[in-house]
Homo-oligomer: A and B are copies of this chain.
Amino acid sequence: MMNKAYFYHAGCPVCVAAEQMVADAIDKQSYEIEIIHLGEQASRITEAKNIGVKSVPALVLNNQVFHINFGAALSDLG
Give the B-binding residues of A (Cβ under 8 A).
Answer: 5, 17-18, 21, 24-31, 54-55, 59, 61, 64, 66-75
Contact = CB atoms under 8 A, between A and B. Distances in A.
5 contacts: A24-B30, A26-B26, A68-B68, A71-B72, A71-B74
**Closest CB pairs A-B (n = 7):** A70-B70, A27-B27, A67-B69, A66-B68, A25-B26, A71-B71, A21-B61
Copies, count: 2
Main secondary structure of the interface of A (DSSP, over half): mixed
A18 B70 contact: no
Given A25-B61, A27-B27, A67 B70 contact: yes
A55 B73 contact: yes
Given A69-B66, A70-B69, A25 B30 contact: yes
